[in-house]
Amino acid sequence: MWNANARVRVLIPAEALSARISELAAEISRDHAQTERLVVVGVLKGSVLFLADLVKQITVPVELDFCQTASYGSGQEPGEIHLKKDVELPLRGADVLVVEDIVDTGWTLRTLLDLFRHRRPRSVRLCTLLDKAEAREVEVPIDYCGFRIPRQFVVGYGLDWGERYRQLPYIGVVESASEEIP
Ligand code: 5GP
């Protein structure tokens, strides 16, 4: 539940996010200099702020699309990933760049990458702002990674806790008096 008194400790300040995103955009632009069709797919909702800042600095033409997943599961077992919203653009022959907020267990991205590969794109690459590598349960190839972070629950810059905190301009950790764990 939302705790109005919760404090958020800054883990990655806005300036560090901005500097790293410029580097990622330069690298992505370089790697796709020869590409004919680059389709950037944001995974809703958490990637939206990151994606907006990233694509503004990509210097090759891009097409934008979005998908959304939900996870069935108790939190004890690996979640079964279900597609709530599919992309609308055709991916066949395109260079696809999936943009995610965070890779945790890896199940979401493993499912999405497998799905998109079946549509016969020229390539599929993954760009994630955050990587919680210690929590990985299935292997996911990450082509572009903003920051590796420890295994803790983070919010801000698109990431939520019960739909709150997405608007924070930095990545933070909720330091709450509440007993409830997200
Ligand atoms: P995975 O399938 O890799 O376990 O989880 C991916 C999704 O879980 C992310 O897209 C994100 O929605 C959510 N998630 C994982 N770790 C965190 C976290 O520390 N904070 C928030 N807000 N969401 C997280």
3-state secondary structure of 4: coil
Give residue-wise pLDDT tens across range 44-97: 999 999 999 999 999 999 999 999 999 876 555 666 899 999 999 999 999 999
Q: Is 131 a catalytic residue?
A: no
Sequence-ordered alpha helix ranges (H) in the chain: 14-31, 48-55, 107-117
Which atom of ligand 1 lies nearest, measured to the CA of 106?
Answer: 3
Name the residue with the closest Cα to ligand 1, atom 10. Answer: 102
CA 97 to chain centre: 11
Closest residue by Cα to residue 8 from 150, 178, 182, 172: 172
Q: Please give the structure tokens belonging to residue 167.
A: 């608007």
Judge contact between 55 and 47, C-beta under 8 A. no
The architecture CATH gives domain 14-30+37-69+90-149: 3-Layer(aba) Sandwich (3.40)
In one-letter notation, the amino acid at residue 171 is I
What per-residue confidence (pLDDT) applies to 179?
Answer: 47
Q: Please give the structure tokens belonging to residue 19.
A: 């500097």
Catalytic residue among 53, 95, 104, 131: 104
Global pTM value: 0.93
DSSP-assigned beta bridge partners for residue 68: 44, 85
Give residue-wise pLDDT tens across range 112-169: 999 999 999 999 999 999 999 999 999 999 999 999 999 999 999 999 999 999 999 9
Distance 33 CA to ligand 1 centre (A): 31
Q: Please give the structure tokens belonging to residue 5.
A: 């008194």
